[in-house]
Chains A and B, each alone.
Chain A
Amino acid sequence: MAQYIKKVDDRDEDEYSPFLGIEKGAVLQEARVFNDSQLDSRRCSQVITKLLYLLNQGETFTKVEATEVFFSVTKLFQSKDVGLRRMVYLIIKELSPSSDEVIMVTSSLMKDMNSKTDVYRANAIRVLCRITDATLLTQIERYLKQAVVDKNPVVASAALVSGIHILQTNPEIVKRWSNEVQEAVQSRAALVQFHALALLHQIRQNDRLAVSKLVTSLTRGSVRSPLAQCLLIRYTSQVIRESSTNNQSGERPFYDYLEGCLRHKSEMVILEAARAITEFNGVTSRELTPAITVLQLFLSSSKPVLRFAAVRTLNKVAMTHPMAVTNCNIDMESLISDQNRSIATLAITTLLKTGNESGVDRLMKQITNFMSDIADEFKIVVVDAIRSLCLKFPLKYRSLMNFLSNILREEGGFEYKKAIVDSIVILIRDIPDAKEIGLLHLCEFIEDCEFTYLSTQILHFLGVEGPKTADPSKYIRYIYNRVILENATVRASAVSTLAKFGAVVDSLKPRVFVLLRRCLYDIDDEVRDRATLYLNTLGGDGSVVETDKDVKDFLFGSLDIPLVNLETSLKNYEPTEEPFDINSVENIPAAGNKPTALGAQPPAPASTVDTYENLLSSIPEFSTFGNLFKSSAPVELTEAETEYAVNVVKHIFDKHVVFQYNCTNTIPEQLLENVVVVVDASEAEEFAELATKPLNSLPYGAPGQTFVAFEKPEGVPAVGRFSNVLKFLVKEVDPSSGYAEEDGVEDEYQLEDSEIVAADYMLKVGVSNFRNAWESLGPEFERVDEYGLGPRESLSEAVNAVINLLGMQPCEGTEVVAANSRSHSCLLSGVYIGNVKVLVRLSFGVDSSKEVAMKLAVRSEDESVSDVIHDVVAN
């Protein structure tokens, strides 16, 4: 290509650029060549490149300039030069013309779309789809649909990728191409297959069943393109995620397919599959093993990208399944010295998660060498990992605390120092033995700390924790040094800390008074005010001393009003005679989850329980039922795609059960009113119907709820079957106006039966260490018995049946039965109604005739509950 500007001789060779001294105004002038009657295509190409260069450098064109350029560019369609045409396409996309301008080029582009030259066709499609709007799209749709199945892969890909973009704005147009896209999925060209699969999935993404079918059929066949294979793995994970709730058999669907992908010849497919497996919900160690094995091979690859990908994935696995990753520890350790610092950091934090207690010291030595030559952002990650390690192995606090104090003394930015200080503070709080040495490290640090924020935080913390130590006097020196040496903010906060020591430690009081009195002469208002205030409240100026409790409340009590509320109240306060009353500030507790009875409850279910609880307590009839113990997952009472979709959620209280029927009306021409579910409880003797809350109106498409409440004997796990009939008043709706007719017809609709079973009284609550939990419950209320389960399909089927019967949480992955094993042990944990913790040990054995025998050992906090569990199994 020719040089645009003559080389300036006195310039250094290195600084030479064809765009040196380029200026927007001049280039826009040059663009007039587009209007010449005799087009010089080479010159035009050069001018377009210059325009693109300007845009690429961040230069912007005004609306007028852009329009002018666009109009002259449209003239260039006259030229037959392929290279120039290609540049014209590029600049049109960059100028993103407005819709009235687009009309100028539509016909030219449509001509190119039907041209015999493939490169014209592919590029014209991409340009047109990028700049056009819905009305024009309908005109060109026919061509696009054809292009999807074009025999030239470049043209097909161009149409498919454009389809993916159009789908975001005009889905209904693209959905009509379904058949063509499906055909393109079978294409021999790798990228066409990839693009077609991506588009097909997008077209069907809201239809779960269709996605599931797509995955089922494609995982059987051979998808050739590695990129398409990666997509298929992603879709498969999606299907697995969505189906996991329904699958009871324990075998994960499509696992074999994913495992097969681990042996694919393309590394990107292997990585995608390994990652998909490690991200399973509740992945078992047996499922993990093959994925970990391939990732381990990647760790010693010569390619940094591969090592990074592997170590990043293993790092994530180590958060939840540290044991599964320990096999890779040797490879990880060699990565500590990796040239790529991201890899080294990930390796270290993984090791910190998987390491055992004895290896801590050795690891710390390796890390110390490493810390000096990495950036702050990596150091913060390491500090966080060390903090969790210390909490895991509290006995090792000495070496870990030393490490933290060493790095605290080294150079570092604010975020890094803050991470270290935060970690030390957390360790002091959680590990009592570490308190003294931790506080001293912090004292040392504030002697030479350049960050005001950290100094004040540490001083505050010292004030709370310091007075409670064996020898509080040794901290006073560090604190008073702050009053002498630091800026006003730190001095003020040091004064507060001194006062706290004075308030708590009587022996120090006189000496604290001396120090505080000195602060009365400080040059800063705040420091003087605080000193005066504290002297006054503590009685240092000889005035009447307030009671000890008041003083401590004042000094240590936290503000129990949300700051936001205080701020609004203060803003609304009009300066009058009446003083501002802090008690008038609204004290609405922050809208967080209230603490549930069990700390160990998994967060996700807890939040749905909360929403249900709020919903139920808002209904006056149910507000007296007390605390909600458990809400079941919704159970469908209708077939899919019927006129009315109804599912039921069972809410269990101590003495009551509430059925919540979630109803959806799927008929646009109907409005339902006075919707109730009539429940026949004749097969549930212990339940007595108490109240029904009808749903006044159920319009099309908007779900509504109706409730039925039953009373049941307290403490008895009453079970029973209920038959349900949906009754309502139907009114016809005129679809055009949306108005319902005045008169309606009574109608009813038979629903499936619902059931209350023993498992409804059990919450799935896992324990992290089953053995410890088992020992701590003790053998006092242990009940052991043996049962014959009769002939079963398989051992695994029997195990799952018992788990589902009891409705308890399997622990430590013991719900998975190894193939062909003759015996199995399973550990379960849960909380029974009345908040009684229950642990179960199951031992299964199977003989040659598939007769399964089971030994059941139950421990709980209540004798009767242990018996109930046995009753459940016995029946």
Chain B
Amino acid sequence: MEYCPLVKNILLLDSEGGRIAVKYYSDDWPTNNAKEAFEKSIFTKTHKINARTEAEITMLDSNVVLYKFVQDLHFFVTGGDSENELILSTVLQGFFDAVGILLRGNLNKREALENLDLILLCLDEIIDGGIILETDANVIAGKVASHSVDSAAPLSEQTISQALATAREHFTRSLLSG
């Protein structure tokens, strides 16, 4: 696997560094304490930085960490020292946008916790054992949403609201980048 781009972990933390959902794919952090220590140091290092318009990047213990924040949600993707930063960046963007679609634009901690099942499924669809499975946010969200048959919203209606969410997402992004 030495040549394959690998993701070491994906984290979704709240505005105090607490866990919402985390997934580790590497043996670098064998115990829960080691994991929490890593989360604490990356959070302390980044929480004052404005990573709300563009994803930011830093090094921590010879790992490359990319991060992006929105409201009280902090998204992180970690890769090895020599990993291609732009590959990690597409993973982060995929995760970030997919969560945005799944939460229908209501990106905050409360909404995330209430839909924790969707977020966990989302992580499961992005990475499998460190290997990138999918990076396109629409495809990821589509796969996750197709599993959760929400009895309140029939399938056709759901796809329309999903499409709206996607459209809104794209619109905001084009506004921000322009």
Chain A residues with CB under 8 Å of chain B are: 1, 3, 16-19, 42, 45, 48-49, 52-53, 56-58, 60, 81-83, 85-87, 90, 93, 119, 126, 130, 154, 157-158, 161-162, 164-165, 168, 191, 194-195, 198, 201-202, 227, 230-231, 234-235, 238, 267-268, 271-272, 275, 302-306, 308-309, 312, 339-340, 342
- The SS class assigned to the B binding surface is mixed
B49-88 CB contacts (< 8 Å) to partner A: 49-50, 54-59, 66, 84-87
Q: Is the beta-carbon distance between A272 and B84 smaller than 8 angstroms?
A: yes
Smallest beta-carbon distance B131→chain A, Å: 5
Known: A275-B84, A303-B55. A19 touches B66 (CB 8 A): no
Q: Is the beta-carbon distance between A90 and B86 smaller than 8 angstroms?
A: no
Please give, as numbers and ranges, the residues of chain B lying within 8 Å of A83 by CB-CB distance. 117, 147-149
Please give, as numbers and ranges, the residues of chain A lying within 8 Å of B148 by CB-CB distance. 82-83, 86
Known: A238-B3, A304-B55, A309-B86. A119 touches B128 (CB 8 A): no
Q: Is the beta-carbon distance between A201 and B57 smaller than 8 angstroms?
A: no
> What are 16 residue pairs bridging A and B, where the CB atoms are less than 8 Å apart in the complex?
A19-B113, A42-B151, A52-B116, A83-B147, A86-B147, A90-B120, A119-B143, A165-B128, A191-B133, A234-B3, A268-B87, A275-B84, A304-B55, A305-B66, A306-B85, A340-B49
B150-177 CB contacts (< 8 Å) to partner A: 151, 177
Smallest beta-carbon distance B22→chain A, Å: 6
Which of A126, A234, A268, A340 is close to B86, meaning CB atoms less than 8 Å apart?
Answer: A268
Decide if B114 is an interface residue (CB 8 Å cutoff).
yes
Q: Is the beta-carbon distance between B56 and A164 smaller than 8 angstroms?
A: no
Q: Is the beta-carbon distance between A305 and B89 smaller than 8 angstroms?
A: yes
Smallest beta-carbon distance A264→chain B, Å: 12
Which of A18, A158, A162, A272 is close to B114, meaning CB atoms less than 8 Å apart?
Answer: A18
Residue on A nearest B131 in the bound complex, by CB = A161
Smallest beta-carbon distance B127→chain A, Å: 10
Q: Is the beta-carbon distance between B54 and A304 smaller than 8 angstroms?
A: yes
Q: Is the beta-carbon distance between A154 and B143 smaller than 8 angstroms?
A: yes
Residue on B nearest A58 in the bound complex, by CB = B32
Q: Is the beta-carbon distance between B120 and A267 smaller than 8 angstroms?
A: no
Q: How far is the CA of A686 from the CA of B89 in the complex (A)?
A: 66
* Best-surrounded residue of A3, A82, A275, A342 (most CB of chain B within 10 A): A342
Q: Is the beta-carbon distance between B113 and A45 smaller than 8 angstroms?
A: no
Q: How far is the CA of A235 from the CA of B4 in the complex (A)?
A: 10
Known: A52-B116, A82-B149, A342-B57. A161 touches B133 (CB 8 A): yes
Q: Is the beta-carbon distance between B84 and A268 smaller than 8 angstroms?
A: yes
6 tightest A-B contacts by CB?
A268-B86, A58-B32, A86-B147, A309-B85, A83-B148, A49-B117
Q: How far is the CA of A235 from the CA of B3 in the complex (A)?
A: 7
Which of A1, A18, A201 is close to B3, meaning CB atoms less than 8 Å apart?
Answer: A201
Smallest beta-carbon distance A793→chain B, Å: 36
Please give, as numbers and ranges, the residues of chain A lying within 8 Å of B89 by CB-CB distance. 268, 305
Please give, as numbers and ranges, the residues of chain A lying within 8 Å of B132 by CB-CB distance. 191, 194, 227
Q: Is the beta-carbon distance between A305 and B86 smaller than 8 angstroms?
A: yes
Decide if B138 is an interface residue (CB 8 Å cutoff).
no
Inter-chain pairs besides A81-B149, A85-B147, A86-B147, 8 sampled, C-beta below 8 Å: A48-B117, A90-B120, A198-B131, A230-B87, A271-B84, A306-B86, A342-B57, A342-B58
Please give, as numbers and ranges, the residues of chain A lying within 8 Å of B90 by CB-CB distance. 268
Q: How far is the CA of A303 from the CA of B177 in the complex (A)?
A: 10
Please give, as numbers and ranges, the residues of chain B lying within 8 Å of A272 by CB-CB distance. 84
Known: A227-B132, A234-B3. A82 touches B56 (CB 8 A): no
Please give, as numbers and ranges, the residues of chain A lying within 8 Å of B87 by CB-CB distance. 227, 230, 268
Q: How far is the CA of A57 from the CA of B13 in the complex (A)?
A: 11
Smallest beta-carbon distance B154→chain A, Å: 14
Residue on B nearest A53 in the bound complex, by CB = B116
Q: How far is the CA of A42 from the CA of B21 in the complex (A)?
A: 21
Residues 36-52 of chain B, each 1 if its beta carbon lies under 8 Å from chain A, else 0? 10000000000001100
Q: Is the beta-carbon distance between A45 and B117 smaller than 8 angstroms?
A: yes
Please give, as numbers and ranges, the residues of chain A lying within 8 Å of B120 by CB-CB distance. 49, 52, 56, 90
Which of A18, A119, A164, A230 is close to B1, meaning CB atoms less than 8 Å apart?
Answer: A164
Q: How far is the CA of A162 from the CA of B66 in the complex (A)?
A: 26
Smallest beta-carbon distance A154→chain B, Å: 7
Residue on A nearest B129 in the bound complex, by CB = A165
Decide if B107 is an interface residue (CB 8 Å cutoff).
no
Residue on B nearest A343 in the bound complex, by CB = B57
Smallest beta-carbon distance A98→chain B, Å: 19
Q: Is the beta-carbon distance between B113 and A231 smaller than 8 angstroms?
A: no
Smallest beta-carbon distance A230→chain B, Å: 6
Q: How far is the CA of A231 from the CA of B113 in the complex (A)?
A: 36
Q: Is the beta-carbon distance between A164 and B4 smaller than 8 angstroms?
A: yes
Please give, as numbers and ranges, the residues of chain B lying within 8 Å of A164 by CB-CB distance. 1, 4, 131
Residues 120-131 of chain B, each 1 if its beta carbon lies under 8 Å from chain A, else 0? 110010001101
* Best-surrounded residue of A17, A162, A302 (most CB of chain B within 10 A): A17
Please give, as numbers and ranges, the residues of chain A lying within 8 Å of B54 by CB-CB distance. 302-305
Q: Is the beta-carbon distance between B3 and A119 smaller than 8 angstroms?
A: no
Please give, as numbers and ranges, the residues of chain A lying within 8 Å of B117 by CB-CB distance. 1, 45, 48-49, 52, 83, 87
Smallest beta-carbon distance A158→chain B, Å: 8
Decide if B5 is an interface residue (CB 8 Å cutoff).
yes
Q: Is the beta-carbon distance between B57 and A18 smaller than 8 angstroms?
A: no
Known: A82-B149, A119-B147. A271 touches B86 (CB 8 A): yes
* Best-surrounded residue of A56, A161, A339 (most CB of chain B within 10 A): A56
Decide if B104 is an interface residue (CB 8 Å cutoff).
no
Q: How far is the CA of A90 from the CA of B128 in the complex (A)?
A: 12
Residue on A nearest B128 in the bound complex, by CB = A161
Residue on A nearest B151 in the bound complex, by CB = A42
Q: How far is the CA of A666 from the CA of B110 in the complex (A)?
A: 66
Which of A48, A161, A268 is close to B129, meaning CB atoms less than 8 Å apart?
Answer: A161
Residue on A nearest B35 in the bound complex, by CB = A58
Please give, as numbers and ranges, the residues of chain A lying within 8 Å of B143 by CB-CB distance. 119, 154
Smallest beta-carbon distance A321→chain B, Å: 19
Residue on A nearest B118 in the bound complex, by CB = A1
Known: A83-B149, A271-B85. A168 touches B1 (CB 8 A): yes
Q: Is the beta-carbon distance between A304 and B56 smaller than 8 angstroms?
A: yes
Which of A42, A56, A119, A275 is close to B19, meaning CB atoms less than 8 Å apart?
Answer: A56
Please give, as numbers and ranges, the residues of chain B lying within 8 Å of A86 by CB-CB distance. 121, 147-148
Q: How far is the CA of A45 from the CA of B121 in the complex (A)?
A: 12
Q: Is the beta-carbon distance between B114 and A119 smaller than 8 angstroms?
A: no
Please give, as numbers and ranges, the residues of chain B lying within 8 Å of A87 by CB-CB distance. 117, 121
* Best-surrounded residue of A49, A305, A306 (most CB of chain B within 10 A): A305
Q: Is the beta-carbon distance between B56 and A230 smaller than 8 angstroms?
A: no
Smallest beta-carbon distance B54→chain A, Å: 5
Smallest beta-carbon distance B40→chain A, Å: 13
Q: How far is the CA of A56 from the CA of B109 in the complex (A)?
A: 16
Q: How far is the CA of A312 from the CA of B57 in the complex (A)?
A: 12
Q: Is the beta-carbon distance between A305 and B57 smaller than 8 angstroms?
A: yes
Residue on A nearest B132 in the bound complex, by CB = A227
Known: A119-B147, A165-B129, A342-B57. A230 touches B85 (CB 8 A): no
Q: How far is the CA of A303 from the CA of B54 in the complex (A)?
A: 6
Decide if B26 is an interface residue (CB 8 Å cutoff).
no
Q: How far is the CA of A272 from the CA of B116 in the complex (A)?
A: 35
Residue on B nearest A377 in the bound complex, by CB = B59
Q: Is the beta-carbon distance between B113 and A18 smaller than 8 angstroms?
A: yes
Smallest beta-carbon distance A332→chain B, Å: 17
Smallest beta-carbon distance B140→chain A, Å: 11
Which of A17, A49, A231 is close to B110, meaning CB atoms less than 8 Å apart?
Answer: A17
Q: How far is the CA of A195 from the CA of B55 in the complex (A)?
A: 26
Decide if B106 is an interface residue (CB 8 Å cutoff).
no
Please give, as numbers and ranges, the residues of chain B lying within 8 Å of A302 by CB-CB distance. 54, 177
* Best-surrounded residue of B36, B128, B148, B177 (most CB of chain A within 10 A): B128
B90-146 CB contacts (< 8 Å) to partner A: 90, 109-110, 113-117, 120-121, 124, 128-129, 131-135, 143, 146
Q: Is the beta-carbon distance between B84 and A3 smaller than 8 angstroms?
A: no
Please give, as numbers and ranges, the residues of chain A lying within 8 Å of B134 by CB-CB distance. 157, 191
Smallest beta-carbon distance A306→chain B, Å: 7
Please give, as numbers and ranges, the residues of chain B lying within 8 Å of A231 by CB-CB distance. 3-5
Smallest beta-carbon distance A712→chain B, Å: 45
